[in-house]
Amino acid sequence: MKKTLVFAISLLLTFLCACAAGTPPAPKPHVPAASPAPTAAATPTQAAVPSAAKAVFTVGEVISLEDGFAYIRTEKNDDADILFAAVMGIMLNVSDFDGEWCAVTADGQSGFIRAEHLRMSAQVSPAPGHRIGVQVPASQEVGPVHTRFNNRLNVHASDGRYDVYAGSRLLGENGTIVIENGTVRNEALGVDIVIRGGMIESQTGYSAAETESCIRAADDTHLAFEDAFFEDAVIEVIDGRVMSPNGVIDIEEDYYFEEQLLTDNLVDVAQHSEGIAIDMLFAKDENLLSENVYGDAVCLLQIGTLAKLKKAQEVFAEDGYSIVIYDAYRPYSVTLALWDKYRDGTYVAGPRFGSVHNRGAAVDMSLLDADGRPVEMPSPIHTLNETSNRGYGGMTEQARDNMNYMADVMKSCGFSTISSEWWHFSDTDHKQYLRTDHDLDALLRVIYE
């Protein structure tokens, strides 16, 4: 209470000083009387002194924070919705003050901020305009990471231990293969076992193991042939898992899944980079979905992915070019909408795994020349036909040179390409990030400059 009273007295004294100088205390603009135009003899050293007739604006500077920000809310209530979060030093126009809350404006919207966060003063001009970004809470969780493979496993026996491999990749040290659906075959020994629904459907040349073995059906039938056929057996698992002291790896048709710690640390590209142009197509009505599905033109990437993109931007800038981003982070629900409309796995990611865009680790981009004009590429962005393919034979030589130049730089900075879309680049580390479905309209909007 004492702090608020001192603050109110300080503000009152500021206003009284302004009144004594002949200026109105209210923060409303005052139209000054006409004054003579500057004479030709005026020089830059003859700075104009604000007259008493100039309008006075009450401007508040953010001087203290709460959880890292000073919050502007829709109502004079700490539980009210947050319009904006301001960082230290931001200047705000103040239109009213009741001793506890200040009415302020930002980005054309009015809200309320606790007076204790501001240092107010009378100014001859209003607070400058703001740059506003968004903040996404960082998170992490353990989740499955998929790897494509041919569903074939092999077992290497060593010192009484059985290690399970997929090709040259060790999946389970001292592991056990559990089969729901699959086959185990060794032609040299005449072994042929078919497992369906976790049980042996048919078999030739095997005997059930009396002790635990490294291969078993899901019904716990352990398979053996004098403990000798595993080393050269062809083991095909369409549905099952590999169990080892290090954990469980699930297997489905064409993929195996490993549990890993995944992170989500999306940042606002505009706020954390320079020289990169942003033209988010899904924040417009003219796009593949024929409507704005992003709301504001929010461009987000994982902080690690953005670091790689900034390196690429430095290389492009040295050659007189700059990156223009047409899409970056894409909520999973938008990928589902694209799939529902097109159902073309060549150009649109399916619902099973989603898109690398859903992890904030991919960009759809092109290049601008030194005059800000798009360079020639094989097709317009997001053209879902063969003309967008990297190997399309009908593109011009200039378009091919530009496409290859862009790809070479991006790959040198830690990105990979896909054959169907010349504009798409994925962070090679994308599997370490969470697939998410953030509501872009609900993200915290931050006044950072």
Q: What residue spans define the domains of the chain?
A: 2-31+51-130, 142-261, 265-447
Determine contact, residues 54/24, Cβ cutoff 8 Å: no
List Cα–Cα distances, 205 to 200, 218, 223, 308, 379, in angstroms.
13, 20, 11, 56, 59
Q: Is the pLDDT of residue 310 over 50?
A: yes
pLDDT value, residue 41: 37
Q: Which residues lie closer than 8 Å to 330 by C-beta, 6 or more apart? A: 282, 355, 357, 358
Question: Which of these ranges, 13-22, 62-71, 158-167, has the smallest mean pLDDT?
Answer: 13-22
Determine contact, residues 364/418, Cβ cutoff 8 Å: no
Element of type H or E holding 7: helix 2-20
pLDDT tens per residue across span 334-347: 999 999 999 988 89
Determine contact, residues 338/287, Cβ cutoff 8 Å: no
Q: Is the pLDDT of residue 10 over 70?
A: no
Q: Is the pLDDT of residue 135 over 50?
A: yes
49 vs 353: CA distance, rounded Å: 65
Q: Is the pLDDT of residue 17 over 50?
A: no
Residue of 439, 442, 438 whose CA lies nearest to 83? 442
Q: What are residue 217's DSSP bridge partners?
A: 179
Q: What is the overall mean pLDDT for the chain?
A: 87
- The bridge status of strand 132-135 relative to strand 444-447 is antiparallel
350 vs 358: CA distance, rounded Å: 12
Residue of 136, 104, 36, 116 whose CA lies nearest to 445? 136
Q: Is the pLDDT of residue 76 over 90?
A: yes
Q: Is the pLDDT of residue 60 over 70?
A: yes
* DSSP string across 21-52: TT--SSSS--PPPP-PPPPTT--TTSPPPPPT
Phi, psi values for residue 322, rounded to 5°: -145, 155
Half-sphere exposure at residue 189, Cβ-oriented, CA atoms within 13 angstroms: 22
Residue of 296, 157, 291 whose CA lies nearest to 224? 157
Query: Binning pLDDT at 50, 70 and 90, where does residue 24 land?
Result: very low
Output the six-digit token pair for 362: 């991919």
Output the six-digit token pair for 267: 């940042």
Q: Is the pLDDT of residue 7 over 80?
A: no
Output the six-digit token pair for 49: 């002194």
Determine contact, residues 160/212, Cβ cutoff 8 Å: no
For 265-447, give the CATH class: alpha beta
Q: Is 198 exposed, middle or buried (0-12, 13-18, 19+ CB in 10 A)?
A: middle
pLDDT value, residue 23: 41
Average pLDDT estimate for 366-370: 97
Determine contact, residues 364/356, Cβ cutoff 8 Å: no
Q: Is the pLDDT of residue 364 over 70?
A: yes
Tell me, yes or no, if the pTM score tops 0.85. no
Q: In this structure, which CATH number among 2.60.40.3140, 2.30.30.40, 1.10.3720.10, 3.40.50.40 belongs to the domain 2-31+51-130?
A: 2.30.30.40
Phi, psi values for residue 14, rounded to 5°: -60, -45
pLDDT value, residue 209: 65
